[in-house]
């Protein structure tokens, strides 16, 4: 199971769930058309509130990662991400900015950061071209 919730994290639980699903899609563990666990079962499994899982699913739907089908639950739906890639790049840059600032301040060379990127790409089995 790829679900590991850190209840003491400052990252909201529903965000951790969302990230977990996205990571599952990225790694290939979840493919287009696959069903996600029901809100109820995922909530039980992760020991979180029903509403929290619901919030994660709603977010994933609004981002275009999944469809929520009446009586069929949530299914993975790649290839129709709502946000365009241009906006994604903006967000990435905004997210990365403080990290790189701190890296530079600490004297951490660019290569060290790139190595972490590579590591993550490899773990996810993504192409490393």
Cα distances from 57 to residues 15, 21, 54, 126, in angstroms, run 10, 9, 5, 24
Contacts of DNA in 54-83 (CB under 7 A) = 54-55, 57-58, 61, 68, 70-74
Token output for 111: 């290569």
Give whichever of 25 and 42 is closer to its own copies, judged by the CB atom: 25
Q: Which of 1, 3, 12, 41 binds its own copies (CB under 8 A)?
A: 12
Q: Which of 44, 33, 46 is nearest to 73 (CA)?
A: 33
Residues 6+ apart with CB under 8 A from 92: none
Positions touching its own copies (CB under 8 A) are: 7-8, 12-13, 19, 22-23, 25-27, 62, 65, 67-70, 72, 77-78, 81, 85, 88-89, 92-93, 95-106, 108-114, 116-121, 124, 126-129
């Amino acid at each position: 199971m790829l679900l590991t919730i850190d209840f003491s994290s400052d990252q909201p639980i529903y965000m951790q769930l969302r990230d977990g699903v996205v990571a599952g899609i990225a790694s290939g563990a979840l493919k287009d058309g696959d069903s996600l666990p029901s809100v109820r079962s995922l909530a039980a499994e992760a020991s979180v509130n029903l509403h929290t899982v619901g919030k994660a699913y709603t977010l994933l739907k609004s981002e275009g990662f999944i469809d929520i089908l009446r009586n069929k639950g949530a299914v993975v739906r790649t290839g129709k991400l709502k946000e365009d890639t241009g906006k994604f790049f903006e967000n990435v840059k905004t997210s990365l900015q403080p990290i790189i600032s701190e890296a530079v301040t600490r004297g951490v060379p660019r290569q060290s950061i790139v190595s972490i990127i590579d590591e993550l790409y490899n773990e996810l089995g993504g192409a490393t071209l």
